[in-house]
Amino acid sequence: ETGVTQSPTHLIKTRGQQVTLRCSSQSGHNTVSWYQQALGQGPQFIFQYYREEENGRGNFPPRFSGLQFPNYSSELNVNALELDDSALYLCASSLTWDSETQYFGPGTRLLVL
Amino acid sequence: SQQGEEDPQALSIQEGENATMNCSYKTSINNLQWYRQNSGRGLVHLILIRSNEREKHSGRLRVTLDTSKKSSSLLITASRAADTASYFCATEDNAGNMLTFGGGTRLMVKP
């Protein structure tokens, strides 16, 4: 157990819809990173939030956005869902932005039909 | 895009045997980490090796890093059926705020 939780565990959406995924970090961790993991592949970095501001972004379009709240919770929002957005979405919390160790949640599996 | 490649993509061994997985990467790194993932669930951090280290041990795990060849290996000794999982290497670059993962090695340990 890493102390990082995510909700929901599974989600089914239709193409064009919007989705919000939630993550609760370890207490005291001011940094959260989000990753997308397509089936059979390694995770890909979406973005990182540090003290409620975006602190780095991977190669993902602007329809992927996030929020981080002072209570160690965060959200990943995806607009205009596409079939290729079907994946496992993982959040990871760390003590601060350049901490070596990230603690991963169990993930949310999103299916876009 | 993924930083590196892992080799082999899949590995099947008998309980008690050793398992070796290799990882190659492309750019300069701050450190390299190995993670384990069971059945598409969350990632569990196994071990971290810094760019100025060459070898590290943790229980039945041994990791090596060769920065001149931009490669790393993970050795699991005396494997158990419970070691069955996917194993990923991940590199942290000098910016220090993101991990770049390889494609993973799927290990099956038969009892």
Q: Is any Cβ of chain A less than 8 angstroms from the Cβ of B51? A: no
pLDDT digits (tens), chain A, 113 positions: 778 999 999 999 999 999 999 999 988 899 999 999 999 999 999 999 999 999 999 999 999 999 999 988 999 999 999 999 999 999 999 888 777 789 999 999 999 99
Beta carbons of B97 and A58 less than 8 Å apart:
no
CA–CA dist A11, A111 (Å, integer)? 6
CA–CA dist B86, A43 (Å, integer)? 12
* B1, B31, B88 member nearest A100 (Cβ): B31
Q: Contact B70/A13 with Cβ under 8 angstroms?
A: no
> Where do we find the tokens 């919390």?
A93
- Residue B3: pLDDT above 90? no
DSSP A84: G
In order of A88, A107, A109, the CA distances from A40 in angstroms are: 10, 15, 13
CA–CA dist A40, B40 (Å, integer)? 9
> Where do we find the tokens 């989600």?
A11
Residue of B99, B76, B89, B75 whose CA lies nearest to B24 = B89
Q: Contact B53/A61 with Cβ under 8 angstroms?
A: no
CA–CA dist B70, B64 (Å, integer)? 11
- Chain A residues with beta carbon closer than 8 angstroms to that of B44: 2, 104
